[in-house]
Amino acid sequence: MIALIVALIALGWRGRLRRQSGIGAPPATPSDLGPVLYETEGQYVATTTAGDWLDRVAVHGMGIRSNAVATVHPEGVLLARAGAPDIFIPREDLDSVRLEGGMAGKFVEKDGLVVLTWRLTDKRVDTGFRTRHAAHKPQLLAAAAALTPDTTPPQDSTGREFQ
């Protein structure tokens, strides 16, 4: 019975990879990102289709939850992941930053995840990151939000300005 369940999970994951084969890879990390504006440890949760917190992007190693270090630079946001490929979000592709309570199988307290919405080639995606220490969440949110074209202050999941 367990072997059957594992086989079905593997088939489902393989089907997801096949369906998402047209999604482009994240851009390579530039050799010069500039100074670190903010850095924090935490967990890379997932990347999903923007607005659909259950549609996990599995291709290019983006479906692997892992410990990571998030660094904000003038050129963009780098998620240096342990045991998985790094994800670089260029500043020009970053649309917005907000807080959410969960995504793709990881649910935490209200506004416990920092979610970055960005353009991965021609697809809008949401990438979730959970800081190791709750006190680091507002700083990561503010540093990443400062890179977005929208100059309004970041908001929590109810639409209120984040304090």
- Express each pLDDT in 70-80 by its tens digit: 999 999 999 99
Given the DSSP bridges, would you call strands 113-120 and 94-100 parallel, antiparallel or unpaired? antiparallel
pLDDT at 82: 94
Structure tokens at 39: 């850095």
Q: What is the mean pLDDT of residues 61-69?
A: 89
Reply yes or no on whether the pLDDT at 159 is more than 70: no
User: Cβ distance 46 to 130 under 8 Å?
Assistant: no
What does the angle CA 44 – CA 16 – CA 57 come to, to the nearest 5 degrees? 25
Q: Which of 33, 129, 12 is nearest to 81 (CA)?
A: 129
What is the reported pLDDT for 58?
79
| Residues 12 and 29 sit within 8 Å (Cβ to Cβ) | no
Phi–psi pair at 28, nearest 5 degrees: -70, 150
CA distance 113 to 101: 6
Q: Which residue has the higher pLDDT, 11 or 65?
A: 65
Assign 52 a pLDDT band (cuts: 50, 70, 90): confident
